[in-house]
Structure 1
Amino acid sequence: MSRFRCCRQFPGTVMVRLVVLGEDGEEDVPFIEQNGASGKGRLNPNMNQFTAALSCYPIVSLLASYMDLTTLSDLSQTCRQVRANLMQYRSLLITKSLRCENEDTSPAARLGNALHASHAVWTAYGQTGLKVGRITSGKVGACARDMVADCRKCGRIICRNCVVKAPPTSIMKFRHRRLCRTCMKSPLPELMNITRTIEEDGTSHDETTPERRTYARPPCTCEDFVWVCQPCGQTMRTDDTTYIRGWKWRARYSHCGGMGAGLGEANEGVECGRITDCLATRMVEKDVECDAAELAALCAETAKAEIDGRHWNGSSYSTQEIVGIGGKVKTKVKKQIPVGAIVKEYEDERDNEKFLDREQTGANRSWCSWCARVVAGKKDQDSATRSTDSIASTSSSGTV
């Protein structure tokens, strides 16, 4: 006996009829309308509050604005009722789906980001041994709409054409950063919360008292896939190389304790991987290069001093002018900035120079520099397994 399904769509109602091809005299299955009732009292098992909400266009359009086309397709395949509700607004939901932020960006800016990404991934060497950077590793086309999600580090909405090229597996271990003792001993959920100053429209109307919000973010998943935007991924490999070289330098000169080069001495040690988000941060005075706003404020103070009959050369205790490479003059100011606590150094790492081996093997909890998320260690995974087993045993003991 063979069966087939017929779907008919009319204004205001959706009906599904099952037709059975068999012997004469058999009655067809009655209609099942959207309200769940049938001619013989049969109910639609897929009718509930969620499917009823999907039949309302304001609700489903708002829901579609947080989903890409792939997620909408997966949602429509959950059951026949959900698919019927979404199909009646198909053309409208496609236009309301989640879009990449770079879709309206100029082609020149997108091409520049693609060149930076390709130069960091693709490297060739000529006949004389000189490094030759290739122009691009792929085509620069329009933004995709089927795979759109937020950047794992900064949170910007990007598509699959705007993410960085997948890094090689061999450099995956260099993304780990060591955590301080406070961050290591703290509960894992405390490291999954991040506080940022973000407005609804992306601007800050009151710079003196900005709005700060706390977001919960899951642990790192860079082992499975890397979803990072081009601006965040431009300096990934450079930062990893600098971090590893810092460990080698401090381990090599750690015996010079009186020279301030010893690892773990005051502010000379390796900083916690969370940097300013460390749970044991402290305020340290450092020389920071001025940005555009600070330079404008200094120029305004200089002009005001000249009006009052005073003279200022541009240097003071808190402000210094430094001549950099190529004769470029840089202005630096002294600021109190938050600095992470000093991490621990193990004796075996100083001898064999195998740095961050505990973090790379998953024995200790670490911090991922690519997505700025915590990487759960072995103890965290064991505690999660024990809690799951205890919940399962409690539920099984409560049943009769």
Structure 2
Amino acid sequence: MAVFVELPDDDTAPQDAADARYTAECQARAAFETGGLNSLSIADQRVEVVNANRNSITEVFACYPAATIITSHIDLNTLDSLARSCRQIRENLLQFRSQLISRTLRCSNDAVALNKNHILRYRARATNWYFVEEDGGNSEGKVGECARDLVGGCRRCGVVVCRNCAIKPPAPILLHHRHRRLCPTCLSLPLPSLLSPPLPVPSPVTPVTISTLSRSVCRCASSGVWLCQPCGRSLKSADSTYDSIWRWRMQYSPTLAEGSRRCGRAGECGAAAVVEEEVDCDAYDLRDGGGGVDEADGRDGGRGDVVSPTPSEGSGGGEGSIRSGRRGAGYARHEIEGIGGVVKKKLIRRARVGACVEEWEDERVVGRFMVREKEGGRSWCGWCWRVVPGDADKVEWAI
């Protein structure tokens, strides 16, 4: 048996689930656009999101010329650290990634051709501070490709070198040999006046900051020794000579007068004076450059920088006349008969020398030298030619 039921017809036909969901979305969108948020139970909370990383400094890196100039003074490691410092800086640098990588700081020897004879034979010894002085005459050129990831200026002369062209730093146990004693005048001067390179005169608008002081003082003990090969070629001999002179004075101190050791700053000493000194012409003529004493000899030997040649040479017609006339005897060159009838020539020249340093009696008794400098006193670094702040300076300037 079957039952038939007749259902009435509705005005609106039923819709499937997809059509119903689409209709609900359209109604919600229409209500949101017309402002009917109350009917949808949605609170009106329009809060503007502020980017905390967007400021005047980060906007500079969005400018291609400014980003290029900044990148040309840093290496790849510093560029990577700069990109990691802030999200906005990273976003601005990524749009110039390929261009900035190719414009980072380069070594000064990047265009120098490789020395094929030294690539394999002297590769390990070329940058070693112990052997670089012995192999200095045969170290023309470079022994490897210049690096791009670690590049910086030499701490002494400022020449930009990479990690392959810089010397290998001496062992940490040799750090105490770098100290040079300062004269009483330099010890009494404020620390900013001893910085190298010298800072501009501070003003109330641009005072000397702690970061500036920490970058300008000696950092051989904390950040390592970063010197080019010409500057690092004489570290071993300079330290040995300086220590030997102090040992000699300690041995013969009862019979010697004070005043033989000069200030470590040499010609830049605060109490420097101009004196006349004699130089052996045979050794002087073998030096390259002619006009003056090697700067390393002046610093480490305590003589100082050359002020001017003697009157007979200073009024000549340039470098050619000086070189042509200095071979023979004259006003500047004196012939002296030595032992065995050997005639030697002495060159008289004027130079700036530092003031004499103090020699303490307690050091003479124990037979030790540079005790105060090694225990935290202010001194001068013979490696990077910068001031080594003492314990009192570190407390005063918080460095």
TM-score normalised by the chain length of structure 1:
0.66
State the match for 2:371 in structure 1: 357
Alpha-carbon distance between aligned partners in 1 of 2:343 and 2:231, rounded to the nearest angstrom: 28
Query: Are the aligned partners of 2:271 and 2:354 in contact in 1 as well (CA < 8 Å)?
Result: yes
- Which amino acid in 2 is paired with 1:170? I
Alpha-carbon distance between aligned partners in 2 of 1:116 and 1:334, rounded to the nearest angstrom: 37
Query: Is residue 353 of structure 2 the alignment partner of residue 339 of structure 1?
Result: yes
- Which amino acid in 2 is paired with 1:118? N
Query: Are the aligned partners of 1:182 and 1:280 in contact in 2 as well (CA < 8 Å)?
Result: yes
State the match for 2:264 in structure 1: 273
Moved over 6 A (4+): none
Alpha-carbon distance between aligned partners in 2 of 1:323 and 1:110, rounded to the nearest angstrom: 45
Task: Report the Cα offset of residue 244 of structure 1.
Answer: 0.5
Task: Report the Cα offset of residue 155 of structure 1.
Answer: 0.5
Task: Report the Cα offset of residue 174 of structure 1.
Answer: 0.4
Match of 1:367 among 366, 371, 380: 380
State the match for 2:167 in structure 1: 164
- Which amino acid in 1 is paired with 2:267? T
1:235-255, CA deviations, whole angstroms, 9 ceiling, x for partnerless residues? 001100100000111222222
Equivalent runs, 1:140-151 vs 2, <5 Å: 140-151=143-154
Equivalent runs, 1:278-297 vs 2, <5 Å: 278-288=269-279, 289=284, 291-292=289-290, 296-297=320-321
Cα 1:160–1:348 shift into 2, 3 Å: same
- The structure with the largest alpha-carbon Rg is 2
Higher mean C-alpha deviation, range 58-67 or range 245-254: 245-254
Match of 2:219 among 221, 224, 231: 221
Cα 1:381–1:233 shift into 2, 3 Å: same
State the match for 1:190 in structure 2: 193
Cα 1:140–1:109 shift into 2, 3 Å: closer
TM-score normalised by the chain length of structure 2:
0.67
Structure 1 vs Structure 2: percent identity of aligned residues? Answer: 40
Alpha-carbon distance between aligned partners in 2 of 1:87 and 1:321, rounded to the nearest angstrom: 70
State the match for 1:200 in structure 2: none
Alpha-carbon distance between aligned partners in 1 of 2:323 and 2:396, rounded to the nearest angstrom: 57
Query: Are the aligned partners of 2:332 and 2:348 in contact in 1 as well (CA < 8 Å)?
Result: yes
1:102-128, CA deviations, whole angstroms, 9 ceiling, x for partnerless residues? 1112223995996454371599xxxxx
Q: Number of paired residues?
A: 299
Query: Are the aligned partners of 2:290 and 2:323 in contact in 1 as well (CA < 8 Å)?
Result: no
Query: Are the aligned partners of 1:116 and 1:234 in contact in 2 as well (CA < 8 Å)?
Result: no
Q: Which has the larger strand fraction?
A: 1
Higher mean C-alpha deviation, range 375-384 or range 170-179: 375-384
Alpha-carbon distance between aligned partners in 1 of 2:234 and 2:227, rounded to the nearest angstrom: 12
Query: Any unmatched runs of 5+ in structure 2?
Result: 1-24, 26-45, 200-211, 292-312, 314-318
Higher relative contact order (CA 8 A, sep 6+): 2
Query: Is residue 250 of structure 2 the alignment partner of residue 251 of structure 1?
Result: yes
State the match for 2:330 in structure 1: 316
Query: Any unmatched runs of 5+ in structure 1?
Result: 1-24, 26-38, 124-130, 197-214, 303-312, 389-400
- 3-state DSSP class of the match of 1:283? strand
Equivalent runs, 1:381-392 vs 2, <5 Å: 381-385=394-398
State the match for 2:6 in structure 1: none
